[in-house]
Amino acid sequence: MARPVIEAPPTTPAGTWLEGEELARRAAARTRRKRLALLVAGWAAMLGIWQVAAYYLPFGTLPNPLEVSVEMWEIVASGALVSDFLASVLKTFAGFGVAVLIGAPVGYLMGRYGYWRAFFLDGVTVAGTIPALTYAVLSLIIFGLSNLGPVLAVALVSTPYVALNVAEGIRGVDQNLVKMSQAFGRSPQQIRREVFIPTIVPYLFAAVRMSFAVAWKVEALTEVFGGTNGVGFQIRTRYQLFDITGVIAWMALFIVFMLLIERLLLRKLEQRVLAWRPEERAAR
């Protein structure tokens, strides 16, 4: 028996579409919950191992997580965190500033002119492969007990990254935009400002983010040996007092805050500056 098509039960497309939406939302929520559960499990395992180790190791060698958290809270509450942490962050960013001031022009020359590329390439590559520790030691030798040591160490570590990335960025400049600018009679300075620099800014951010991961560790390390303030300095002070809890508390706080800076501050700044990029808009 042929059923007339007209009597088919009306299924509203909107209904099925909404159902689909709902299903997708639930699946996404499930994935999120699973990921959160794993994250919590990971942290619990880590703290558990720490707790057990603290318990079995000879008394006083390793403080347990609770003692460290209390100490961390005291550091935060006393206000020491803000001043010393700020000192470390400022030194790190001062180092970046120096790295950009030196690395960006070098990278610009390398990207633009074959001769300069030949001149700088080996030096920059070698500088990029030298272990960060070497730079820390070098900075200590040069500046001794001073706040300039950490700045120099960060600058030395980051400059090759900046130079290589900027060189890469310059070579990615869209020649059609350069020709367009020339056709409309724009000056070389205008072309540099409006075409070349905007092209390399994303590469500059990539360089800073890549070198940040190494830079803040080198900064702290240099402070430990030669700083007069900052997180590394605090770690050394606590160490000299045999205050292991204090050492670990400062270390933990430093890690947490540097990760926050890396994940939140740098990322947000990048999103702001690169707001014109479709992928940045999609991410917001």
Partner 1 sequence: MAVLTVNDLCKTFGAGTARSNRVLDHISFDVRGQTFVSVVGPSGCGKSTLLNIISGVETHTSGDVSVTSDEGRPARLGYVFQDPRLLPWRTVRKNMLYVQDKDDDQARRRVSTYLDMVGLGQHGDFFPGQLSGGMQQRVGIARAFAVEPDLLIMDEPFSHLDAITARGLRAQLQDIWAQSRKTVVFVTHDVVEAVELSDRIIVLQPGGRIFEDIPIDLPRPRRQSDPAVATLQAEVLARLEKMKAITPQAATAV
* Binding stretches for partner 1 (CB under 8 A): 176-177, 179-186, 190, 194-195, 198, 275-278, 281
Q: How far apart are CA 135 and CA 46, in angstroms?
A: 32
Q: What one-character-per-residue DSSP string does 217-228 give?
A: HHHHHHHHHH-S
The nearest distance, CB 184 to partner 1, in angstroms, is 4
Torsion of the alpha carbons at 124, 129, 130 and 135, rounded to the nearest 10? 70
Considering beta carbons, is residue 57 or 180 the nearer one to partner 1? 180
The nearest distance, CB 282 to partner 1, in angstroms, is 11
Other Cβ atoms closer than 10 A to 71: 22
Measuring CA to CA, how many Å separate 265 from each of 3, 47, 209, 261, 268?
65, 28, 11, 5, 5
The nearest distance, CB 278 to partner 1, in angstroms, is 5
Considering beta carbons, is residue 197 or 255 the nearer one to partner 1? 197
The nearest distance, CB 195 to partner 1, in angstroms, is 7
Considering beta carbons, is residue 77 or 183 the nearer one to partner 1? 183
Considering beta carbons, is residue 180 or 256 the nearer one to partner 1? 180
Considering beta carbons, is residue 21 or 194 the nearer one to partner 1? 194
Q: How far apart are CA 109 and CA 56, in angstroms?
A: 59
Cα angle vertex 274, ends 192, 117, to 5°?
Answer: 40
Measuring CA to CA, how many Å separate 222 from each of 139, 182, 278?
8, 48, 40
The nearest distance, CB 266 to partner 1, in angstroms, is 19
